[in-house]
Chain A
């Protein structure tokens, strides 16, 4: 039977904090930063009002937030935090340790540009600077997805076959500050879906262990390989959790999602909330008879190579939209990943990269129509650039 179907209006940030409440997070340490603020403010109220039985540790920085989270998770409790932009950058030193210690902390990242120039607005430069931190990284397109994945992330992270911290990305402001409709879950259903956290190792005076030990050169490579394999092998359990959620709610999620790709010669790609805007553009182009489809990456780490190759099979041109820039490099991070995934194939599409929507630049559906026309012209004459920055003046 489908769970509770009534849609409830609320700000997406509030929906995310309710998801964390429903997941019965036991420990939270966070520092407020725009545009993540409403999430942790609301969680703080829930804890203060006794609506969520959790320890809320107020800290003086994100560096301390993640450090406190490591301690709390190591002590064996379900641990959550949220951050954004500079906050994630300040955490950077610690987030690698979190994943190497295999602590299943869940973190929401309200994606925002990294300074400078100072910008509080959305792009993906924060998470791309943390791309290689060894966490599971999931992207969401709307409030419902942010809510759903915030609950599912705990189940994935805490699975003893996984034991990896997990980030749920949602676009800052574009999602966090929008009041929209959500199908909520009741506590009973979530409790059945998400059992109590059972730590694999924990700090226990009765059974002492050493966590966070150093590794000599003779062991370091083996430790990294073990981490790499854990992240790669988390793919199966991630899918299991998403399938179970699909059965429970009727909302199905895939590592790579496609929209109207049947017979598509041109495929547009991206991650995050732009995906929905692009669907509108694809509908418009299909109406004009242009064979365009959409491929969206939901699971960024571990990267779903096989799913991507299957999704792009048959495409002649792939237009990859990045909401970040790899300064001094040849491309945006998604473009680099897609090109590298497709390179070994004997038959591969032309892959063009566009950086769009930096630092809160509004992206209207017409932008995708422009990109498709531009890409088609470039392929015809031979691409003039390694990649393009859409809408840049001058």
Chain B
């Protein structure tokens, strides 16, 4: 089982991300959960969203407190939520940033594997708006392969209708542009 935790702000679409991911994984014949950190949604407030994917039925019904992967939609959350603090040994931090891996490591002292993409730039260029949730799924798929890129298309269509094409393109561009730097011991 892979446990993925999205860190975002209310309105950035973290919950949509985990839902789309779950739908795609289930479509591939896997078992999956996608759920929010339950509560009143407040635009701009730091929020969490959770995703579990496995080949067998998932029994856990609790928050993810020791994730395999954290996806951070907004780099300003690194200082507030400290998403890497409870990351599993060997876990991956996937980050929306225009900084280099070296800069991030120096700033936050991370030793985990980093997957970085400037999702703001991709979203602005491809979507025309700085909403990065679907874009960051591209980075997640590049770093983990948790589902196939193509499987994301039907749930995107279902959710976004005519806007799905742009979202899927942003996802694919981010998939291409994501740089991965292995963990440092």
The chain A residues found within 8 Å of chain B, CB to CB, are 7-11, 35, 120-122, 142, 171, 173-175, 177-181, 273-274, 276-277, 279-280, 360, 362-365
Contacts A179-B18, A179-B19 given; does A276 touch B38 at CB 8 Å = no
Find out whether the CB atom of B59 lies under 8 angstroms from the CB atom of A179. no
Contact (A180, B38) CB under 8 Å given A276-B60, A277-B60, A279-B59: no
Contacts A7-B26, A179-B18 given; indicate if A362 touches B36 (C-beta within 8 A). Answer: no
Complex Cα gap A177–B63 (Å)? 13
Question: Smallest CB–CB gap between B51 and chain A, Å?
Answer: 9
Asked if B58 is an interface residue, CB under 8 A from chain A, the answer is yes
Contact present for A177 and B27 (CB under 8 Å): no
Q: Are A8 and B26 in contact (CB under 8 A)?
A: yes
Contact (Cβ within 8 A) B32 A180: yes
B38 x A173 contact (CB < 8 A): yes
Q: Give the chain B neighbours of A360 by CB distance below 8 A.
A: 38
B contact set with A: CB distance below 8 Å: 18-19, 22-23, 25-27, 29, 31-36, 38-40, 57-63, 65, 155
CB of B22 within 8 A of CB of A9, answer yes
25 A–B contacts, CB within 8 A, in A order: A7-B26, A9-B32, A9-B155, A120-B38, A120-B39, A121-B38, A121-B39, A122-B38, A173-B38, A178-B34, A178-B35, A179-B18, A179-B19, A179-B32, A180-B26, A180-B33, A180-B34, A181-B32, A276-B59, A276-B61, A280-B60, A360-B38, A362-B62, A364-B63, A364-B65
Q: Which residues of A contact B59 (CB under 8 A)?
A: 276-277, 279-280
Tell which of B18, B60, B62 has the most Cβ of chain A within 10 Å. B62
A277-B62 in contact (CB<8A): yes
Cross-chain contact A365 with B26 (CB below 8 angstroms)? no
* Docked-complex contact B19 and A11, CB < 8 angstroms: yes
Cα of A74 to Cα of B59 in the assembled complex, Å: 40
Q: Complex formed: what's the CA distance from A277 to B22 in Å? A: 19
The answer for the CA separation of A115 and B125 in the assembled complex, in Å, is 47
Q: Given contacts A180-B26, A362-B63, could you give 20 more A-B pairs where the C-beta distance is less than 8 Å? A: A7-B29, A9-B23, A9-B26, A10-B23, A11-B19, A120-B39, A120-B40, A121-B38, A173-B35, A178-B33, A178-B35, A179-B22, A179-B32, A179-B33, A180-B31, A181-B31, A277-B61, A279-B59, A364-B62, A365-B62
Sorted nearest first, the 6 A-B pairs with minimum C-beta distance are A9-B26, A173-B38, A276-B59, A179-B34, A9-B23, A178-B35
Residues from chain A with Cβ under 8 Å of B63 in the complex: 362, 364
Knowing A274-B61, A277-B62 touch, does A180 contact B22 (C-beta < 8 A)? yes
Q: How far is the CA of A276 from the CA of B62 in the complex (A)?
A: 10
A375 to B32, CA, bound (A): 34
CA distance A122 to B61 in the complex (A): 12
Interface centre among B31, B57, B61, B63 (most CB of A within 10 A): B61
CA distance A384 to B22 in the complex (A): 45
Contact check, B62 vs A179: say whether CB atoms are below 8 A apart: no
Chain A residue at smallest Cβ distance from B24: A9
* Chain A residues in 8 Å Cβ range of B36: 177
**From A181, A279, A364, residue with most partner B Cβ within 10 Å:** A181
Distance of B61 from chain A, by nearest CB (Å): 5
How many whole Å from A298's CB to the nearest CB in chain B? 16
Residues of B within 8 A of A175 (CB): 61
Task: Chain A residues near B57: list those with CB within 8 A.
Answer: 181
Q: A residues within 8 A CB of B40?
A: 120
Q: Are the C-beta atoms of A363 and B62 separated by less than 8 Å?
A: yes
Q: Which of B25, B33, B155 has the most CB of A within 10 A?
A: B33
Determine the distance from Cα of A171 to Cα of B33 in the docked complex, in whole angstroms: 15
Residues in A whose Cβ lies below 8 Å from that of B19 = 11, 179
A180 to chain B: closest residue by CB: B33
